């Protein structure tokens, strides 16, 4: 007999877990990238953890990001166009409700989905933001800096981040969609480095005027981050893109200057802080000058700017902005007399999951400090599902911010024994639309998540999204109804790639489930026969359980789909082979054993597919007449079906199941697919 799946051979899981799924901006509905790239993978993993370690021990956290310049700009444009006449808060709330409805439609089982500026979550988040920033200041990690901010003289106003557009100044970046201090590929830079800035309000070139704000001293954590990234590189379960991206920002500050400006550089080189010159490599268009610190690099930028020398900067650790000067935002605490500031949306969105954990625990009637059981305890883990574009914030800034708080706790000053723990980042590559990166603000407009539901079922889409392998590389999403030519649409021989995994559900998995039920109704009076499963069946189940568990620990969801494809097909073939032999021999005892084995295999396939296609899996459980909490649990030996049944049922060697109607589908096709 195979080893028990709950033996010491199994891998270790935390006792409690938080799963986060980022925070969509409150300025638009969700497009397919939000759902496919983050929410479905996070939901599948959260559902698995609930089954694996118990639902009470898991928090699945997300919410609408109510603040940030994209929201201000989206609101301004709609108001100016006469398409919206409410307040900005009402605008965000409208979008939040649309997002929530979409997430509900896709079966995203969040513990909480509120907003950083809404209701109780908003109140908690305001409090935590104040405590967080005050603690950073108390620990000596905030700098008061006078910096330059874009000002539109024609409009008579300072511009928020999305009201300035230009080209990214970071060396090697090709983004033509750069904003005040970050581009759409996730690079951050000083506003004054933005190339060819234009105001989206008036189309004029904005001025730079000084403002005072608080900045987190991120460069001071360079040594910590080097140690942190070394640990990430040594962990085989951390996706390679995480340490690779973090390391890009740990290089010394570098300025890149075009070769044709060499004479101009030579003329001012003596005025620059001490630096190392590296000549252009063969075929390169720029030479490099490297500085010892970011302050030296910034001083050099001023000298080069005065000399009219164009340059680009390399990725490096720069002070991380904490506050800003726009009105719509989380209010910043008054420190050292600096008043009237709000918090930049990125830092506050990094600690928002903590705020949301506190808020949901409040709603559950748990003590306020219970959030620490999830974020601080050594037997807990936080898994953060993010897109690769956001790795600078989650992989560079967030670890340093958490490290900066280690001398104390943000809600209980003086508590030092349980600091906030570093999180596990689950970073996905881009999901493309066809073969192009899709963005709702770009030229390639992706379908909304809601539009996809006009052509596919939720479970077809969930299975397909998880099978794409975004943990490995950027992958194209190629829905035939949206990308095919009219001729291809009319040609039924042209397959729809999105339906590949759906066929496993609507054909093979359906067939296995229906065969078991109809056979029980035909020959066993509507009862599922109980008894020991065959040795090879139990061995196969334990083999799959171990592979599944290990794969989930690595969060390789596309491999989960491969494992389940093979297992469901194996189970269906074993049923087909077995019942064929029964029909040929008329052996009633063999018939009973085939059904015992097949129901056991159906149970295991349903348990393991529950995170992927929860609605269909729960429908199977319902027709099997078991309680969800019992059926979808890993706290069994997984030897047979008896362990789910009462003593009386075991004595009678049978369990009553619900009658399945003729031609019943546990996994149906979308109505548009029946032709």
Tens digit of each residue's pLDDT (9 = 90 or more) over 128-177:
999 999 999 999 999 999 988 888 888 887 787 778 889 888 777 878 78
Residue 503 lies in a domain: yes
Residue 195 lies in a domain: no
E-state strands within 65-170: 112-115, 142-152, 157-158, 164-167
Q: Do 514 and 640 fall within a single domain?
A: yes
Q: Contact at 8 Å (CB) between 345 and 329?
A: yes
Which has more confidence, 662 or 180? 662
* Boundary residue ending a domain (409, 427, 445): 427
Residue 459 lies in a domain: no
What are the tens digits of pLDDT across the range 653-663? 999 999 999 99
Q: Do 123 and 240 fall within a single domain?
A: yes
Mean pLDDT in residue range 208-229: 95
Mean pLDDT in residue range 510-517: 97
Structure tokens at 582: 């029964």
Most confident of 405-414, 437-446, 547-556: 547-556
Q: Do 516 and 606 fall within a single domain?
A: yes
What are the tens digits of pLDDT across the range 229-263? 999 999 999 999 999 999 999 999 999 999 999 99
Q: Do 415 and 506 fall within a single domain?
A: no
In percent, the amount of the chain with pLDDT more than 70 equals 95
What are the tens digits of pLDDT across the range 65-96? 999 888 988 898 899 899 999 999 999 999 99
Mean pLDDT in residue range 42-46: 98
Of the candidates 189, 180, 208, 206, which has an alpha carbon nearest to the alpha carbon of residue 73?
180
Q: What is the DSSP letter of 613?
A: S
* Boundary residue ending a domain (408, 427, 446): 427
pLDDT range class, residue 408, cuts 50, 70, 90: low
E-state strands within 330-470: 342-343, 380-387, 424-428, 431-433, 436-437
How far apart are alpha carbons 118 and 104 in whole angstroms? 19
What are the tens digits of pLDDT across the range 579-605? 999 999 999 999 999 999 999 999 999
E-state strands within 33-102: 58-64
CATH at residue 520? 1.10.730.10
Q: Do 523 and 423 fall within a single domain?
A: no
Mean pLDDT in residue range 44-66: 97
Structure tokens at 298: 């910034």
Residue 31 lies in a domain: yes
What are the tens digits of pLDDT across the range 560-578? 999 999 999 999 999 999 9
Residue 491 to residues 95, 303, 480, 481, 496, Cα–Cα distance (Å): 38, 64, 11, 12, 11
Mean pLDDT in residue range 1-22: 74
pLDDT reported for residue 173:
82
Q: Contact at 8 Å (CB) between 256 and 311?
A: yes
Q: What is the dihedral of CA 164, 166, 171, 172, to 10 degrees?
A: 120
pLDDT reported for residue 8:
41
CATH at residue 41? 3.40.50.620
How far apart are alpha carbons 593 and 598 in whole angstroms? 8
* Boundary residue ending a domain (405, 427, 449): 427
Residue 301 lies in a domain: no
Return the minimum-mean-pLDDT range out of 331-345, 385-399, 425-439.
425-439
Identify the sign of the CA torsion 442, 445, 451, 456: negative
Q: Contact at 8 Å (CB) between 654 and 530?
A: yes
Residue 526 lies in a domain: yes
Q: Quick check: 425 pLDDT over 70?
A: yes
640 lies in which domain range? 497-671
How far apart are alpha carbons 269 and 265 in whole angstroms? 6
Residue 206: helix, strand or coil by DSSP? Answer: coil
What are the tens digits of pLDDT across the range 94-131? 999 999 999 999 999 999 999 999 999 999 999 999 99
pLDDT reported for residue 149:
84
CA atoms within 13 A on the CB side of 379: 6
Residue 446 lies in a domain: no
pLDDT reported for residue 419:
84
Burial category of 337 from C-beta neighbours within 10 Å (exposed 0-12, middle 13-18, buried 19 and up): exposed
Q: Do 522 and 422 fall within a single domain?
A: no
Predicted TM-score of the model (pTM): 0.92
Q: Do 108 and 231 fall within a single domain?
A: yes
Residue 487 lies in a domain: no
Q: Do 399 and 503 fall within a single domain?
A: no
How far apart are alpha carbons 88 and 67 in whole angstroms? 10
Mean pLDDT in residue range 420-441: 86
How far apart are alpha carbons 318 and 315 in whole angstroms? 9
Domain count, the chain: 2
pLDDT reported for residue 1:
33
What are the tens digits of pLDDT across the range 316-345? 999 999 998 888 999 999 999 999 999 999
Task: Using alpha carbons only, give the angle 206, 207, 209 rounded to the nearest 5 degrees.
Answer: 135
Q: Do 502 and 415 fall within a single domain?
A: no
């Amino acid at each position: 007999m195979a080893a028990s799946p709950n033996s010491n051979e199994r891998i270790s899981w935390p006792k409690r877990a938080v799963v986060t799924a980022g925070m969509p901006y409150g300025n638009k509905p969700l497009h397919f990238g939000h759902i496919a790239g983050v929410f479905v993978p996070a939901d599948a993993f959260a559902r698995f953890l609930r089954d694996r370690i118990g639902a009470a021990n898991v928090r699945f956290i997300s919410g609408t990001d109510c603040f940030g310049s994209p929201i201000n700009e989206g609101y301004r444009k709609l108001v100016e166009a006469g398409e919206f006449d409410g307040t900005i808060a009402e605008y965000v709330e409208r979008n939040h409700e649309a997002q929530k409805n979409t997430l509900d439609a896709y079966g995203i089982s969040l513990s909480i989905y509120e907003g950083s500026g809404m209701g109780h979550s908003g109140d908690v988040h305001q409090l935590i933001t104040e405590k967080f920033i005050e603690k950073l200041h108390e620990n000596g990690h905030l700098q008061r800096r006078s910096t330059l901010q874009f000002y539109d003289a024609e409009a008579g106003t300072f511009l928020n981040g999305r009201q300035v557009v230009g080209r990214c100044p970071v060396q090697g970046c090709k983004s033509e969609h750069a904003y005040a201090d970050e581009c759409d590929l996730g690079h951050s830079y000083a506003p004054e480095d933005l190339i060819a800035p234009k105001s989206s309000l008036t189309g004029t070139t904005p001025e730079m005027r000084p403002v005072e704000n608080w900045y987190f001293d991120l460069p001071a954590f360079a040594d910590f981050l080097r140690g942190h990234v070394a640990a990430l590189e040594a962990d085989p379960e951390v996706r390679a893109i995480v340490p690779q991206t973090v390391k890009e920002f740990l290089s010394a500050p570098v300025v890149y200057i075009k070769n044709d400006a060499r004479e101009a550089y030579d003329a001012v080189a003596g005025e620059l802080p001490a630096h190392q010159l590296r000549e252009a490599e063969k075929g390169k268009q720029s030479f490099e000058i490297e500085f010892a610190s970011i302050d030296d690099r910034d001083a050099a930028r001023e000298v080069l700017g005065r000399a009219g020398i164009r340059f680009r900067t390399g990725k490096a650790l720069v002070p991380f902005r904490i506050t800003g000067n726009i009105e719509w935002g989380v209010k910043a605490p008054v420190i050292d007399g600096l008043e009237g500031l709000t918090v930049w949306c990125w830092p506050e969105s990094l600690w928002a999951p903590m705020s949301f954990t506190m808020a949901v625990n409040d709603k559950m009637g748990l003590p306020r400090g219970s959030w620490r059981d999830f974020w601080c305890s050594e037997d807990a883990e936080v898994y953060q599902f993010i897109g690769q574009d956001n790795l600078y914030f989650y992989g560079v800034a967030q670890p340093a911010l958490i490290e900066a708080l280690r001398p104390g706790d943000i809600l209980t000053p003086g508590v030092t024994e349980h600091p906030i723990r570093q999180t596990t980042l689950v970073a996905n590559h881009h999901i493309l639309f066809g073969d192009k990166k899709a963005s709702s603000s770009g030229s390639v407009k992706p379908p909304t998540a809601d539009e996809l539901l006009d052509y596919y079922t939720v479970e077809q889409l969930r299975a397909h999204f998880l099978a794409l392998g975004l943990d490995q590389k950027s992958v194209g999403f190629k829905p035939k109804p949206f990308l095919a030519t009219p001729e291809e649409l009319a040609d039924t021989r042209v397959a729809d790639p999105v339906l590949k995994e759906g066929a496993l559900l609507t054909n093979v998995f359906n067939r296995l489930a229906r065969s078991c039920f109809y056979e029980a109704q035909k020959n066993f009076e509507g009862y599922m026969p109980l008894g020991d499963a065959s040795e090879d069946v139990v061995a196969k189940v334990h083999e799959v359980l171990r592979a599944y568990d290990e794969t989930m620990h690595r969060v390789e969801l596309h491999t989960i789909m491969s494992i389940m494809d093979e297992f469901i097909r194996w189970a269906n073939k074993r049923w087909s082979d077995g019942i064929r032999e029964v029909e040929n021999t008329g052996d009633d005892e063999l018939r009973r054993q085939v059904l015992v084995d097949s129901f056991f295999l159906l149970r295991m396939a349903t348990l393991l597919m529950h995170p992927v296609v929860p609605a269909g899996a729960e429908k199977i459980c319902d027709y099997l007449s078991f309680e969800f909490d019992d059926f979808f649990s890993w706290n069994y030996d997984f030897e047979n079906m008896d362990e789910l049944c009462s003593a009386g049922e075991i004595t009678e060697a049978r369990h009553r199941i619900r009658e399945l109607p003729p031609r019943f589908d546990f996994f149906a096709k979308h109505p548009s697919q029946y032709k």
